[in-house]
Amino acid sequence: MLLIVTLRVNSPNSELFVVKRLMSENIAQPPAEPAKKAGYHHGDLKEALTCAAEALIETKGPEGFSMAECCRMAGVSTAAPYRHFEDREDLVKQVAARGFEALRVATKTRRDSHPPGSVDSIVAMGQAYVRFAESSPAVFRLMFAKHKRMDEGHQAIHETGGTCFMVLLEAVDAFREQRGLSATKTLDIALPLWTIVHGTACLLIDRDFDVVAPETDPDDLVRIATEGFLSGIAGVN
């Protein structure tokens, strides 16, 4: 509790961060000693910096985000992050990896709220993908952007991204098996579906529909495109 008050005093912009931190504390780990004294040590600076980075990236964009501002937000000196992260890139990758995990959970949850292999389950999964992009556009961009350095951190992102793709593959396999389609077709179905939702997400968050079709409803678009494609695959080919 005292910790939170300290943060507020140190940086007036940190309210969102505090809320996020509280949320992730609730989910992740219940504090071992709840009545901890505020002081020299932060407690969980790595977590705090990651949350601050996430919020900042969402505000300023993946490139506009700066280490310095992140420190200001967390109320620590500019040297502090280097106890927890190799460099700026390392911190950014942490945010990206978290994004993939959130995307995986969101798509899986929506998918599983419909019968396995149903068109509805695939549509719902796609809509969840687009909604995630809509709610965290900058993090979404970051996740799928090409990263500069190739290291373990990057590998970690790849793995998290891979498990995300598994959610789609499972759904497609169920769909395919129910209709007696060859297993070799899995990617021929999964990749087009991915392009539909990824394209919708990108065009939506970059506000490109506004120019040529401002009335576009992303949920409708995903439904029309997905149903159209799946009926083309299942019915004709």
Which residues of this chain interact with a copy of itself, rule CB under 8 A?
63, 144-146, 158, 161-162, 165, 187-188, 191-192, 194-200, 202-203, 205-209, 211-213, 216, 221, 224-225, 227-233, 235-237
- Residue count of the chain, please give it: 237
Contacting residue, 12, 40, 180, 182, with DNA by CB under 7 A = 40
Q: What is the DSSP string of 184-222?
A: GGHHHHHHHHHHHHHHHHHHHHTT-HHHH-TT--HHHHH
222 and 199 Cβ atoms separated by less than 8 Å: no
Is residue 29 at the binding interface for DNA, with CB under 7 A as the rule?
A: no
* CB closer to DNA out of 90 and 112: 90
Is residue 41 at the binding interface for DNA, with CB under 7 A as the rule?
A: yes
Taking CA 171 as the corner, what is the angle to CA 126 and CA 228, rounded to the nearest 5 degrees?
A: 55
Contacting residue, 22, 29, 82, 162, with DNA by CB under 7 A = 82
Is residue 184 at the binding interface for DNA, with CB under 7 A as the rule?
A: no
Is residue 80 at the binding interface for DNA, with CB under 7 A as the rule?
A: yes
* CB closer to a copy of itself out of 76 and 139: 139
Q: What SS3 class is residue 79? A: coil
Taking CA 63 as the corner, what is the angle to CA 28 and CA 44, rounded to the nearest 5 degrees?
A: 25
